[in-house]
């Protein structure tokens, strides 16, 4: 957000901050959310890079299309373990995974 817009909103009584501020997340919680979202985005990019549909990825993972959609959306019911295993199934290397996490 640019500073002009921020100042205009604050002048009208709005509080401007981050999602972590709004949700009152600790630094650890915010980092966890960021990691999960980064893995979810990478999973979607890897699937598309291999020209796979969500259904095809679901078959590869022995899961369902709706589960893959939740994984790609960063749904809270999806574990980090499942995201990492899915990335490995798509051929993501440990080195690439480390870059995603870093």
* Number of folded domains that form the chain: 1
Res 6: pLDDT: 87
Give the sign of the dihedral formed by CA 60, CA 79, CA 31, CA 98: negative
Tell the burial category of 38 from Cβ atoms under 10 Å away from its Cβ (0-12, 13-18, 19+).
Answer: middle
85 lies in which domain range?
Answer: 27-101
Tens-digit pLDDT profile for the chain (102 aa)? 788 998 998 899 988 888 788 888 999 999 999 999 999 999 999 999 999 999 999 999 999 999 999 999 999 999 999 999 999 999 999 999 999 888
**33/98 Cα distance (integer angstroms):** 16
Record the pTM: 0.80
The CATH number of the domain where 79 resides is what?
1.10.260.40
Alpha-carbon distance of 83 to 77, in angstroms, equals 11
């Amino acid at each position: 957000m640019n500073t002009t817009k921020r100042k205009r909103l604050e002048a009208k009584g709005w509080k401007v901050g981050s999602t972590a501020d709004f949700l009152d997340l600790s630094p650890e919680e915010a980092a966890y959310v960021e990691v999960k979202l980064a893995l979810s985005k990478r999973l979607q990019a890897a699937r598309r890079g291999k020209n796979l549909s969500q259904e095809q990825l679901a078959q590869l993972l022995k899961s369902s299309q709706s589960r893959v959609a939740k994984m790609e959306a960063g749904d809270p019911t999806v574990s980090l373990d499942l995201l990492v295993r899915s990335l490995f199934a798509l051929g993501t290397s440990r080195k690439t995974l480390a870059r995603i996490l870093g």
